[in-house]
Structure 1
Amino acid sequence: MQPHKIVSRREWIAARKAHLAHEKEYTRVRDRLSAERRDLPWVKVDKNYVFEGPDGQQTLADLFAGRSQLVVQHFMFAPDWNEGCKSCSFWADGFERMIPHLAARDTTLVAVSRAPLPKLLAFRARMGWTFDWLSSAASDFNYDYGVSFTKDEIERGAKAYNFGTSGFGIEDAPGISVFYRDAAGDVFHTYSCFARGLDMMNAAYHYLDLTPLGRHEEGLPYPMDWVRLRDQYQPAAGTAACCRT
């Protein structure tokens, strides 16, 4: 971290106001981008996807839980893994308590993974989450929506991720897909995002962006190398014993 210039409060306010102008500009650009996103065309979902949940088999339409909008968090958890992806868990810790707020705006959020349901429920219990988590193991859902890849695609280094812009290297990848269900019961795919497109849904990252050190990921083998499952962080060096209980 480079040494920062130390100034008077008055000088700091002047610098902060100059930066505020840039923040307002970014906000206006973001609002325009959000409007453009809402205006994207839709694709009708004709395939009959079936998921397994605690209450049995459910269709994609069932996942809406009576609401008109559905957000699917594609959570990386391949069938032979023993625990979910630590980075997806980082996101899940953030959206866990958002579910009632989204429901108040006619929106349901669920997580979907290819791992068998017992593994999903066991890991959910370990992490203390309550959101609905369903297994897509019996369908092509993950493959059709660009977050799972065949062995051949991986070995060839095929650009199968993020709308064909990159490869991924392993069988499952993160993403978010959004769907709309109309009054007639028809379901439409309206949006998906991957890679850095997921960034704005992680509130912890954006809190870090406010700090002098930021995300502090320079020099790591990959940006989220530091992330651990919430129950695997070690106490910070110098933490008093009384604070470790």
Structure 2
Amino acid sequence: MDNYRNPQVVSRSEWLSARRQLLLHEKALTHQRDELSRARRALPWVRIEQPYSFEGPHGHLSLADLFAGRSQLLVYHFMFDEGWSEGCSGCSFLADHFDGANLHLAHHDVSLVAVSRAPFARFQAFRQRMGWKFPWVSSHASPFNREFGVSVSDDGSSQYNYEPYSGSETELPGLSVFYRDADGTIFHTYSSYARGLDILVGAYNFLDLMPKGRNEEGTMDWVRHHDRYEGADADKSHCCHE
């Protein structure tokens, strides 16, 4: 049974004792997370040889163009396929966090860009509906999505999250990180998928502090596009959910 349904009620001094014990675990996890981040940064790099092509608001873009003059690039592989009229609700949940982050990342040598397989024109109405400002481009004419593991086959021949994939979705979420050297050479440094994307979801960090936690039966089963929550029109301040 979840703790919030049957809480142990104690005195303030007993609570402080339990809280101090939990703090030891929290500090240990923080140190483990720091070690994991160091190990992530220590991964070997792969030189990008393929001239990937993208489409943005002003036409053709190269992978180098996505850096926008910075040395680091984080690509979010946003699920939006050719025939869709709106983006995946889970990807949209993550994307609701991007504009706030980009206010700071752009001043710290990082470009954050969403990339989708659908043609550029296909997702413009949805982008406007969501009110997003972050860069979002199409990889429609490029093998980029396939080669970075997010456009897959449902016939059992593909991998997703570094394991054989047996699901039915052919577009999947992920993130990929790139570095651009001073001489223009581009390297792939990291990619992550599935629960590895939790690190981008600030709302989950808030929920993890709450008595009910994430309170979901399946990952993101409660999530809606932020204009489809009950009362969304009346209260725009809660559009950090998606």
TM-score > 0.5 by shorter chain: yes
Moved over 4 A (4+): none
Equivalent AA in structure 2 for residue 213 of structure 1: K
Shift in Å, 1:36: 0.6
Q: How does 1:13-28 map to 2 (within 5 A)?
A: 13-28=16-31
**Structure 1 counterpart of 2:11, one-letter code:** S
> Unpaired runs of 5+ in structure 1?
237-241
> Does residue 67 of structure 1 match 2:75?
no
User: Aligned equivalents of 1:109 and 1:159: distance in 2?
Assistant: 27
Which secondary structure state, in structure 1, belongs to the residue aligned with residue 160 of structure 2?
coil
Matched AA of 2:224: R
Unaligned runs of 5+ in 2: 237-242
Alignment of 1:71-82 (within 5 A): 71-82=74-85
Residue 232, structure 1, aligned to residue 228, structure 2: yes
1:165 to partner: Cα distance: 4.6
Instruction: Name 1:208's counterpart in structure 2.
Output: 207
Partner of 1:125: 128
> Percent identity between the aligned chains?
54
Q: How many residues align?
A: 232
Quick one: distance in 2 between partners of 1:121 and 1:131? 12
Q: Is 1:104 the counterpart of 2:103 in the alignment?
A: no
| Pairwise CA distance, 1:31 | 0.3
1:191 equivalent to 2:190? Answer yes
Q: Deviations over 1:109-166 (max 9, x none)?
A: 00000111112222111000000100000000000000001xxx30x33451001254
2:70 and 2:213 mapped to 1: Cα distance?
A: 38
Letter in 1 for 2:223: V
**Residues 168/96 of structure 1: CA separation in 2 closer, same or farther (3 Å cut):** farther
Contact kept, 8 Å, 1:176 with 1:192, in 2: the verdict is yes
The SS at the match of 1:225 is: coil
Q: Distance in 2 between matches of 1:235 and 1:71?
A: 33
Scaled by the length of structure 1, what TM-score is found? 0.91
